[in-house]
A = this chain, B = another copy of it.
Amino acid sequence: MTTSPRTPAPAPTPPPTLLVLDAEPPPRLGRLTGRARIEHADAATLAERLPHADVLLVWDFASHAVREAWPGGGPRPRWVHTASAGVDHLMCPELAESDTVVTNARGVFDRPIAEYVAALVLAMAKDLPTTLRLQGERTWRHRESTRVAGTRACVVGSGPIGRAIASTLEALGITTALAGRTARPGVHGPEDLDRLLAGADWVVAAAPLTDDTRGMFDARRFALLRPSARFVNVGRGQLVVEDDLVEALAARRIAGAALDVLSHEPLSPDSALWEVPGLIVSPHMSGDTIGWRDELGAQFVELFESWAAGGPLANVVDKKRGYVPGH
C-alpha cells in the first residue's frame, strides 16, 4: 500500500515521534513500523530534533549528547529510554527535574555481567594471566593457585546486576555479602561497608554512578582491604579513583585488580593503566554477549508497546537517585 503525500491522512492520532540517538539503527525496531515515526539523530543534530520528539531512545549509551542537548523547560520528549543499565551519561538537573520519564535496560545485563565477574575472579585465582604470559615465552613453570570455594566476596551494588553477581559467586562456593545504599534483608547498608571490605578476598564494584558513589573506591578504602584481596570494577569507571588503585597495586596493599570500566573510555593508548602489574583492563564488554543488541531492541519494543497502549512503564529510573529502586 502506498499513500500519496498529497492525500490528507485520515489518522486521528498521529503516531508518536521516536527519536533514536545512534549512528546505526537498532535491531527489532521494524516491529514499530506504522506505530511510530522513527527519526535518527547524532550528537550534532540531537539538540535540534529533541523538542519535536515524543520518545527518545538513547541507543548509543556511550554518548553524553543528551546532557548537552536537553532542552531545559521547552518542548521535550515525554519518555527517554537508555539501552544501558546506568543512566549517569544522560542525567542532568533539567532532565531530573522535568516530568519526563526515564527508563533503562534493567535485566538484560545481569547474568552476562555476573559470568564475566566469575571469569575474572577465577582467572585471578588460577593465575591465568601469568600462564598466558609464560605460554608466550614457551616456559613451563608450575605454580600453586588459589581455591575460590571458601573465600569471601563483597559486592557493592545491590541492584539486579549486583544480585546476579552475588548468586553466581555463591554458586562457586564463595561466601558473598551484598552492600547497597540502604540496609534491607539480604543487603548490608553503608554502615557495614568498611567492615565487609576489610574481610573480603574479592571486592566487586557494581554500583550505579551517583553523587554518593563517585570515587568511593579511594585510597582510604583500598587501605582497608587485605593484601591478598582482589578488586573488580564492572560498574562505572568513576566509582574508582584510578590513581589510588594504581598506588595500592604498586605498594602491594592489594593483590590484583580488573577494570572493565574506566573513567575515560575508550582508554587512551597513552594511559599508564595498560601496564600496571597485577591489573587486567578490558574494554567495557562485561555485559555484551552475542545477541545483546537484539535483546536490548526487543526490550525497548516491549516497553514502547506498553507505553503506546497507555499501560505502565517498567524499569522507571528514580531520576534523583540515578537508578531503578528495587527490593
Contacts and interface: CB of A to CB of B under 8 A. Distances in A.
Which 10 residue pairs across A and B have the least CB separation, nearest first? Answer: A119-B122, A140-B266, A171-B171, A119-B126, A138-B269, A138-B274, A147-B289, A142-B283, A140-B283, A131-B282
A145 B288 contact: yes
A132 B136 CA distance: 12
Interface string A118-156: 110011011011011011101111111111110000000
- Looking at A125, A131, A288, the one whose CB has the most chain B CB atoms below 10 A away is A131
22 contacts: A111-B147, A111-B149, A111-B173, A112-B147, A116-B126, A118-B172, A119-B122, A119-B125, A119-B128, A122-B123, A131-B281, A135-B280, A135-B282, A136-B274, A138-B269, A138-B274, A140-B267, A142-B283, A143-B283, A143-B285, A145-B290, A172-B172
B269 A145 contact: no
A28 interface: no
Contact of A128 (B128, B145, B290): B128
A244 interface: no
A113 to B, nearest CB: 11
Given A138-B274, A280-B135, A281-B135, A290 B115 contact: no
> How many interface residues does chain A have, given as a range?
35 or more
Contacts of A307: none
Interface string A222-248: 000000000000000000000000000
Contacts of A129: 132
Nearest to A293: B144
Nearest to A135: B281
A181 interface: no
A280 to B, nearest CB: 7
Interface string A275-293: 1000011111100111010
